[in-house]
Structure formats: structure tokens, C-alpha cells
Amino acid sequence: MTEPVLLWFRRDLRLADHPALAAAARAGPLIPVFILDEETLRPLGGAARWWLHHALASLSRDLPLVLRRGRAAAVLQQLAAETGASAIYFSRGHEPGEVRQEQEVKAWAGGRGVGLHRHGGVLLHEPETITTGQGTPFKVFTPFSRAVKAAPPRPPKPKAAWTLADPQPPGDTLAQWQLLPARPNWARGFASHWQPGEAGARQRLADFLDEHVAAYARDRDVPARPATSRLSPHLHWGEISPAQIWSATHASMAAAGGLQDEGGGKFLSELIWREFCAHLLFHFPHLTDQPFRAEFANFPWTDDHAAMRRWQRAETGYPLVDAGLRELWITGTMHNRVRMIVASFLVKHLMQHWRQGEAWFWDTLVDADIASNAANWQWVAGSGADAAPFFRIFNPVLQGETFDPDGAYVRRWLPELASVANKHVHAPWTLPEAARPKHYPPPMVDHGAARARALATFKAL
């Protein structure tokens, strides 16, 4: 009788284009397992826990999962002892905690005759394969992007057939993990915006390629339009692979006969940005808590708890900033252009450390991703790789007038400004005092004064 094999799911919660699953299915009957490891890995934020609950429920309907909780190496060792499993198949991880997991698993498995079979699939390319001509990691996006485009990823594979081991070992229930918020249920609005799971990811990609990709380059910066793919949480949990997205986008562009070239090309460039962030974190694991540019190590950030609280509560008095933070709280996401403006306001208008904003996004984003979150916050702060210069300070009013000229985005998330005319909707304090909305705060800082303070601090550094 063929010995069972453990299929360890991580951030690869899908069945199609899953190299580890395909290899495990050829090796023997499967024991699929997912481990909630918040000892080796960074504990999940609240919004990500909501997503994970529904993603695991979705996958389990097609492939029943053994759910265990604890340190991954210890759990896998226990499962191998319980079941007599001869091997463990898994997708490679690239985050610092995932690397530690693999090192710990390798440490015990090697001496006990349990085979370890690691496969790619989380990224387009493994981090060691995309390097400069000198064999070093890229630190600038444009040459990195050229290198990725010159080495197209492998074509995606169809779903493999498998056999489950009988019996399956016992495991936890999802309810026991208590991933969903209860009282208060602050995630009650998420379900109307998201469909976690592989089917939801495929549908999201199909809808985007059918309806939005042609105008993506033009409309992606307009937050009131449904122009972006909204695939990031599906990508983070591996409900769809980057190779699937790459292949489907190229196929859609070819079928459109050039009509999607600009939008499709820009969309793929954003997929490469995700790849760039992951490669940076793999090669420079300090990216999560230390400035990539060493000269920012002594930057005199402020520690103003009251200001941070107003920012978190969408009470800054700048409509575009507050609309983004309100969107984040209600839906678990925020439009990318608005993320940059909201982040710039925190680190440059309020002079709060970028790690404060990164922590808030980690807790509130359904697409919270260690690499993208850290790299993008450092990019805005000016301390990251290929970063925007610190003196690039977004003017929230001008950004609103440029990208939300009729105030549609602001009015959607800030109904207290619904009756304010377009001329004043991004600066309601410019209305006569008697006409100002009574339930919206004045600006917590003056843009000109805050900009001058940030630039003076940077010059002193």
C-alpha cells in the first residue's frame, strides 16, 4: 500500500496551477493540511483573518483540509508520526517568517527520513533567478521590470487529479479558530465587496479583462471608477497564481487585436511591482522594520498618539484622505492612488513613523502583504528602494481636484459632504462659516505649514 503524503498548504489556497499539489498527487494519497502558525509568522491582522476564514472554507468544499494550529515544524512532525506520511510537499515561501518555517521543517525532517519537496508558484520567478548582470539583487524597479519581461514565466498548469488518504487525521474546525469578528462585527460590510476563494479570483480576473483592462492605463488613478483589478487579496492567499494572471492577460490582449495593449501592459507592470516588493523583502529582510536607505535611520519622526488616532478615525479634515480611510474601514481595501495620498499625509504632514501606518494597514487591509506593505510605505516615506523623494509631498486638495474632480469618491465615503458643491468638496473649510458641514472637522494641519516643516526636517537630516 502506498504511503500517504502531506500536502502543506500555505499562501497557495487553490487547486489549479499548483505545482506542489500536482507533484504530491503523483506520489501518493494526500493528507492536505493548513497550519495556522502565528508563532513563526507575523500574527494576522483582523481583516486578513476574515479573508482567511472564507478562503479556507471555500477550498475545503473541494479538497477537505486538516486544520491544525501551532508552530509549523512541530505540527508537521506530529502529523507525520500520526499518519506514517513519507513526504511533505509544499509551495516555497519568501517572507522572513516563511523562510524560518522551512528551515525548522528541514532541521527535523532530514534526520528522520521524511522527504521534503518544495515547489514554486507563489511568484512569477524565484528571487535568485532575476538578478543584475553582476548577480546582485535589483534595487531599482525599471531594470528589474525589463529583466522580468525578458524571461516570461512558465505557462500555468491545469488542475491535477488526486486521491485522498483514508482515513484522514483529526483536525480543528474553522469555528474553533475564531477568525471572524463577533462583537462588534466591524467586517459586516466586507461580504458585499468580496468573494474569497479560487472561484472568486477567477471571476474577478475574467470581469477585469472583459470590462476594464482596455481603459486601465487611463482610469486606474481615478478612485471613483471601478477600473482596478482588485485581485490583490486573491493573489496574497494564492487563490490565483501570478502565472495564471500573466497568461490570461496576454491571451486577452492577443484576442483584442491591440485594443488592450496599453491597459494590459500597464496592468502587467503593476503585477511586476508586486514581484519587485517580494524580491526586495527576500534579499533584504530588514525591510519590514528598518529603513532601506540608511540615512533615514535617525530621522526624527514624531510620536503623536492623538494625531495618529485622528488619522485612523478619518478625522483629518482633508476629504480625500478621510474618504480613503473610511473606505478602508468599511471594505477592507483602499484605492491605490488614495493609499499613496493617505500614507504621504501620515508621514509628511503629521511626521508619524511609516511603521505606524504599516501596522494600521496590516490590521485593516484584506490584502495585507508583508512585502508590498513595507516596500510601499517606505517608498512613500522616501526611505525605500527606488523611492519617491522625500520632498514629493502630496497636496490632498490638489490630488482630489485632479483625480476626483466631481467629488464622487469623496461623497460616496463621506456622505456628510454630499451637499457640498464641487468647487469646495475637497476643501470645505473654504466655504463661508455658516455653510460649512456641521459634522465634518476642520483640517488638523495646514498643508503649507506641514509641508514646510517636513522639508526643513529633511534638510536638517
Mean pLDDT in consecutive groups of 10 residues from the start of the chain, 461 residues: 91 98 97 98 98 98 98 97 96 98 93 90 96 96 96 92 96 98 92 97 98 95 96 98 97 90 95 97 96 93 96 98 98 97 98 98 98 96 86 95 98 97 97 93 97 92 79
pLDDT of the residue at 386: 85
User: Which residues span the domain enclosing 274?
Assistant: 123-154+199-283
In a domain, 169, yes or no: no
Catalytic residue among 8, 311, 377, 413: 377
In a domain, 439, yes or no: yes
Ranges of H-type helices in 383-460: 396-403, 408-413, 447-460
Angle at 100 between CA 91 and CA 370, to 5 degrees: 75
Closest CA to 342 of 326, 325, 330, 329: 325
CATH of the domain at 238: 1.25.40.80
pLDDT of the residue at 388: 75
Instruction: Give this prediction's pTM.
Output: 0.96
Give the residue carrying C-alpha cell 491591440: 258
Determine the residue type at 378. Answer: Q
67 and 138 assigned to the same domain: no
In a domain, 35, yes or no: yes
**Catalytic status, residue 377:** yes
Q: How many structural domains does the chain have?
A: 3
Of the three residues 101, 121, 141, the one that is the final residue of a domain is 121
Catalytic residue among 354, 360, 362, 413: 354
**Catalytic status, residue 362:** no
Catalytic residue among 237, 273, 329, 360: 273
201's enclosing H/E stretch is helix 198-211
The one-character DSSP state at 230 is -
Q: What are phi and psi of 77, to 5 degrees?
A: -60, -45
In a domain, 177, yes or no: no
453 and 304 assigned to the same domain: yes
243's enclosing H/E stretch is helix 242-255
Catalytic residue among 162, 186, 336, 416: 336
311 and 246 assigned to the same domain: no
92 and 113 assigned to the same domain: yes
225 and 306 assigned to the same domain: no
**Catalytic status, residue 3:** no
**Catalytic status, residue 194:** no
Determine the residue type at 410. Answer: V
236 and 332 assigned to the same domain: no
pLDDT of the residue at 192: 95
pLDDT of the residue at 39: 96
Of the three residues 283, 306, 324, the one that is the final residue of a domain is 283
42 and 113 assigned to the same domain: yes
In a domain, 188, yes or no: no
374 and 333 assigned to the same domain: yes
Q: Map residue 172 onto helix, strand or coil.
A: strand
pLDDT of the residue at 110: 77
37 and 140 assigned to the same domain: no
Calpha distance 96→284 (Å, rounded): 9
215 and 317 assigned to the same domain: no
**Catalytic status, residue 186:** no
Catalytic residue among 38, 270, 401, 416: 270
389 and 421 assigned to the same domain: yes
**Catalytic status, residue 273:** yes
In a domain, 342, yes or no: yes
Strand pairing class (87-91; 115-119): parallel
In a domain, 374, yes or no: yes
First to last CA, the chain: 68
398 and 252 assigned to the same domain: no
Catalytic residue among 108, 162, 177, 301: 301
Of the three residues 233, 254, 283, the one that is the final residue of a domain is 283
Cell reading at 12: 497557495
pLDDT of the residue at 395: 97
Q: Cα dihedral sign for 187, 193, 195, 196?
A: negative
In a domain, 327, yes or no: yes
